[in-house]
């Protein structure tokens, strides 16, 4: 399987996205494709030889909480050590900090194979690098040396502590408190107390130390905390303090999940005794703002994991459909002997759907990674600004479309495997369970929809959206004449979405727009991926044709709730619902 | 939860379907609603007090294979004993055989609660009754007394042994052989040898004996077997023979499933030694034909279980959404305090969708049960014929729509529960895993689609389909004026499907029609349930409005592949797919 996935990644990075155009720019002065390929080779080999073999084992042997400490399945621990000893977690880290300074696009390509092989293992690394990057970007030099550097060295791993048992999506309402406790070389010191829920890798025995980034409310001189998002600040709270003593953090319990079981998911109690010691990073009140850098990176990674698992499911389906002999095609029963199920039109339909959804999702995620590179490193400001703006608009789609459609794709992978696909003997069963987390963590699909409609479209008065529609029109106008039919459909989508959004922006309809945000997100996600498919049409003719024949026609139906009965969900009386 | 589900069942049976009109007909001369209500009460109580408490336990403690025998989790065993000791499995069994002789509609209503509480437990009973009914309908009096009666008495349970490791959907290709072995009081005796896969309750320690109905190929005088479906015959093969000795049947292994874990799923080896002794039921070559009675009953039950689990997921969501306090509605952030998530428009949308899908699916299944009663017992032949014909057309929808849409509904149940819904502490997690079997067993969704398109529409030259379209038109024409908009949409669907099917019936397009059968099934399922929703509109205004505003508009998009690129899946070269 590894070979096909790597070919796909190479195609997307080099042939489609032309990542090599980054070479020689100020940010990547001395890199070349040979460096990147060596990195992709090694990462692919560790994915296949270390992470994949413990995929099922880590599902079966869940992390255990023993005497207050969490023990992770040993094979997954060993695989992570191998990966970090090879320094592969440092792909995107600045060379000044000891990293490779590679483009995000290249690192994302390599991460696809890690996630496809063992998404639970990938979680440890992804969170840690995103955590360390926040410290590197917003911390003092002492904070970077003490808390980011060990993560780069592989002796510590990091977490993101936002949710609480009663607060998931509305982070302004958290109640964890941080009481000022003087200042030292690491900055303003605090004592934290509160409970943090859903903390992936919140405790583990993979690394010597754990660096938590904790969102909490700084206690004001009058003893109160400030309400809402502006009352939140961010704190670095290590499991082991710089003096070697253990911080006041207790694992109150482990969540037992449907899938993704290799990553422990913890309820952490901070400050059961004297208060957990932490140091503020950034200014007071900037907690959510800073955290959103990590959150956006995490959201992109969730989308990528959805794409990666869907792609692996597609590969398993391909192999199974070619090998499994059964029945005769419904439209041609004359064959004396049973055929490979690949010959059944409905199996071909499911394979094409898996191909179109998983390759489309992966293309979207790698394009997002390149946009990230351009936003950070493009030589000219307009390019940086345009990339940043498009990435912001698309982030809810990048997070949610591969998450939701990855599940649809894996649903078909199970169907192709028949009863076997429903058993734990086949990896598609676990891929489906693991993937089910994606529409939930780092902001549910509904939250992504509100982000798209509220922050990215309504608050922006549709400016960034209009730029994107212009890009779609240009793509349709410049499409290969062989795909004139599909280009016409895409141009039609540009008109449809332009009209829809201008109606949403009309005065007084914000409540309707926000109430129907998920329907819009579903439709818009298809439009974005349709744009991507037309761009790849020449190399991937059949999947593009499939996407425009089967998926694109669903868009008008999905948008229907935005033009009729717009206030239905607000108008329905409570007693009908509960 | 039980109260709401029971109210829903009562509404559907008595107010909507008017099941009481059956009372006094020849088949139900001395029954009344009081009898039925007492039965529904008892069944509901056992569901709540016996089956529900072991729902999670039976998932955690899977059946074990110990020294060749399968041991089922004790609580589920006890619950089944209580249920059968109360005689509740006999609801639809003829009074002449010791049953209650109740309408299928009433029995189906009661079964909804059993399935909602513990679908794995329900499997034992459903299979057994369907098995015993086949024996009662097609067996000799001796066969009925020896193999059906113990199942009615509760001392034996039955199975359906069709699939083999290499043969699932193409039963004409089975290789299990039955060699003639003389004749005795139980009929033509055979020695069977072969392997049967995916046998639910294939071995268990719930009942003293197990009665397998085994599809096999009778060995001809020349030592060969006949190819294809016409070579198959059906055999009764008990685990314990009438003389008390053990038959030659070995449990070769258990399948370890994603869900539905309370029911053991076995690989059975028949005839590892001298051949398993079995008696033919019905004529040689009639195996598949007879088996299809059981299969159709099983398919209806799969649909019902999908509806029942989706409905339970809806109830859990309702309760959670009313109790869980978090955030402020996206369209109105002015509230100082967080609100119940029920107040968020997107949560309301998900609740409405769950309501519309789960109640719609349940209505479809109970209507199917009533059609079954009418087909069997209506006083006049035209009514019986019309009911039978409609039931045949709708069976693929009854099996697949609640199976697929039940999963969509449970997807939303998990979303409403957020991270909690992904943990095994909440039943929605298990309902989702359990439900994932439904699009597979008793004929995958793809197989249902081919049945609908091939057997029910093309082979019938669209006659039965035309009758159904006429019914839809009549419903639209007679709809309440308050729902004129929805009636107009339904009339439009009648036109759309009429046109679509007439194109499919045009000469030479059968291959295209069969290749796009699943797209047609998806669209047609929505149409059927739209018809049902309009019929319930007066009592369930909001769910009907939701269905026509959000679900019905999806239909044209789903049908798109039938009018463009019809041969896409056949034309795509193999190398693109594998």
A561/B549 touch (CB, cutoff 8 Å), yes or no: yes
**What is the per-residue pLDDT across A288-298, written as a single tens digit (0 to 9) for each?**
999 988 889 89
A173/B449 touch (CB, cutoff 8 Å), yes or no: no
The Cα–Cα gap between A189 and A192 comes to: 10
Residues 432-451 of A with CB under 8 A from B: 432-433, 436-437, 439-441, 444-446, 449-450
**What is the per-residue pLDDT across A154-179, written as a single tens digit (0 to 9) for each?**
999 999 999 999 888 788 899 999 99
Q: What percent of chain A has pLDDT above 70?
A: 100
For each of the domains in chain A, give its residue range(s) and CATH number, in order of start: 2-153 (1.10.540.10), 158-286 (2.40.110.20), 444-566 (no CATH)
With tokens 């109690």, the residue in question is: A269
H or E segment and range at residue A522: helix A517-535
pTM of the model: 0.97
Reported as a pLDDT band with limits 50, 70 and 90, residue A330 is confident
Question: Which of B326, B327, B514 minimises the CB distance to A345?
Answer: B514
Reported as a pLDDT band with limits 50, 70 and 90, residue A408 is very high
Kindly state the average pLDDT of the residues A406-415: 98
**How high is the ipTM of this complex?**
0.97
How far B573 CA lies from chain A's nearest CA (Å)? 9
**What is the per-residue pLDDT across A3-25, written as a single tens digit (0 to 9) for each?**
899 999 999 999 999 999 999 99
- Give the pairing of strands A187-200 and B209-218: unpaired
| CA A506 to chain CA mean position, Å | 33
Q: Does B167 touch chain A (CB under 8 A)?
A: yes
Q: What is the pLDDT of residue B3?
A: 86
Using an 8 Å CB-CB cutoff, list chain A residues near B556: 553, 556-557
Q: Does A88 touch chain B (CB under 8 A)?
A: no
Q: Does B335 touch chain A (CB under 8 A)?
A: no
C-alpha angle with apex A216: A215 to A222, nearest 5 degrees?
Answer: 155
Q: What is the pLDDT of residue A509?
A: 83
Q: How many CA atoms lie less than 13 Å away from B402 in the CB half-sphere?
A: 28
Q: Nearest-CA residue of chain B relative to A514? A: B331
Q: What is the pLDDT of residue A334?
A: 81
Q: Are A443 and A160 a contacting pair, CB within 8 Å?
A: no
Reported as a pLDDT band with limits 50, 70 and 90, residue A386 is very high
Question: What 8-state DSSP symbol labels residue B506?
Answer: S
Q: Does B169 touch chain A (CB under 8 A)?
A: yes
Burial tier of B13 (Cβ tally within 10 Å: 0-12, 13-18, 19+): buried
A557/B561 touch (CB, cutoff 8 Å), yes or no: no
Residues 6 or more apart whose CB falls under 8 angstroms from that of A248 comprise: A270, A271, A272, A273, A274, A275, A276, A277
Per-residue pLDDT for A127 more than 90? yes
Per-residue pLDDT for A508 more than 80? no
With tokens 């969170």, the residue in question is: A127
Residues of chain B with pLDDT under 50: none
Sign, CA torsion B373/B378/B384/B387: negative
Q: What is the pLDDT of residue B509?
A: 83
**What is the per-residue pLDDT across A195-253, written as a single tens digit (0 to 9) for each?**
999 999 999 999 999 999 999 999 999 999 999 989 999 999 999 999 999 999 999 99
Using an 8 Å CB-CB cutoff, list chain B residues near A488: none
Per-residue pLDDT for A2 more than 90? no
Reported as a pLDDT band with limits 50, 70 and 90, residue A507 is confident
């Amino acid at each position: 399987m590894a070979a096909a996935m790597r070919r796909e990644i190479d195609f997307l990075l080099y042939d489609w996205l032309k990542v090599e155009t980054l070479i020689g720019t100020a940010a990547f002065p001395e890199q070349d494709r040979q460096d990147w390929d060596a990195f992709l080779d090694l990462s692919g080999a560790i994915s296949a030889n270390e992470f994949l073999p413990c995929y099922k084992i880590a599902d079966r042997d869940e992390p255990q909480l023993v005497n207050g400490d969490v023990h992770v399945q040993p094979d997954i621990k060993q695989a992570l050590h191998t990966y970090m000893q090879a320094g592969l977690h440092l792909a995107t880290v600045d060379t000044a900090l000891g990293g490779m300074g590679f483009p995000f696009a290249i690192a994302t390509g390599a991460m696809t194979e890690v996630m496809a092989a063992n998404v639970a293992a990938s979680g440890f690394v992804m969170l840690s690098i995103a955590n360390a990057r926040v410290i590197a970007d917003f911390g003092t030099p002492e904070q970077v040396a003490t808390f980011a550097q060990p993560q780069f060295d592989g002796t510590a791993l990091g977490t993101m502590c936002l949710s609480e048992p009663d607060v998931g999506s509305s982070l302004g309402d958290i109640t964890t408190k941080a009481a000022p406790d003087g200042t030292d070389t690491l900055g303003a010191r605090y004592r934290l107390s509160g409970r943090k829920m859903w903390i992936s890798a919140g405790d583990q025995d993979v690394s010597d130390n754990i660096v938590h980034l904790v969102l909490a409310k700084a206690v004001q001189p009058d003893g109160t905390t400030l309400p809402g998002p502006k009352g939140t600040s961010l704190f670095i709270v290590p499991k082991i303090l710089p003096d070697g003593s253990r911080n006041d953090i207790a694992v109150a319990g482990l969540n037992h999940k449907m899938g993704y079981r290799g990553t422990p998911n913890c309820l952490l109690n901070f400050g059961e005794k004297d208060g957990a010691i932490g140091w503020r990073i950034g200014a007071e009140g900037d907690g959510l703002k800073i955290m959103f850098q990590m959150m956006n990176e995490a959201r992109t990674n969730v989308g990528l994991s959805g794409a990666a698992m869907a792609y692996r499911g597609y590969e398993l389906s391909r192999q199974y459909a070619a090998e499994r002999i059964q029945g005769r095609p419904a439209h041609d029963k004359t064959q004396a002997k049973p055929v490979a199920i690949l010959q059944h039109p409905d199996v071909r339909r499911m394979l094409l759907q898996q191909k179109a959804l998983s390759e489309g999702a992966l293309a979207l995620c790698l394009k997002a990674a390149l946009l990230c590179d351009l936003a950070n490193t493009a030589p000219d400001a307009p390019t940086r600004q345009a990339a940043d703006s498009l990435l912001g608009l698309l982030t809810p789609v990048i997070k949610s479309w591969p998450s939701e459609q990855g599940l649809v794709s894996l649903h078909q992978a199970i169907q192709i495997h028949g009863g076997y696909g429903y058993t734990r003997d086949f990896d598609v069963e676990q891929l489906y369970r693991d993937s089910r987390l994606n529409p939930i963590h780092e902001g549910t699909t509904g939250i992504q929809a509100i982000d798209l409609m509220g922050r990215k479209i309504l608050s922006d008065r549709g400016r960034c959206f209009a730029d994107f529609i212009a890009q779609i029109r240009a793509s349709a106008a410049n499409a290969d004449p062989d795909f004139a039919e599909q280009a016409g459909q895409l141009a039609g989508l540009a008109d449809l979405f332009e009209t829809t959004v201008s109606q949403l922006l009309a005065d007084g309809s914000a409540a309707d727009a926000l109430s129907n945000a998920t329907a819009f997100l579903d439709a818009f996600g298809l439009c974005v991926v349709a744009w991507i498919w037309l761009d790849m049409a020449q190399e991937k003719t059949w999947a593009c044709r499939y996407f425009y024949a089967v998926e694109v026609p669903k868009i008008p139906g999905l948008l229907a709730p935005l033009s009729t009965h717009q206030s239905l969900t607000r108008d329905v009386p409570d007693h009908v619902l509960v």
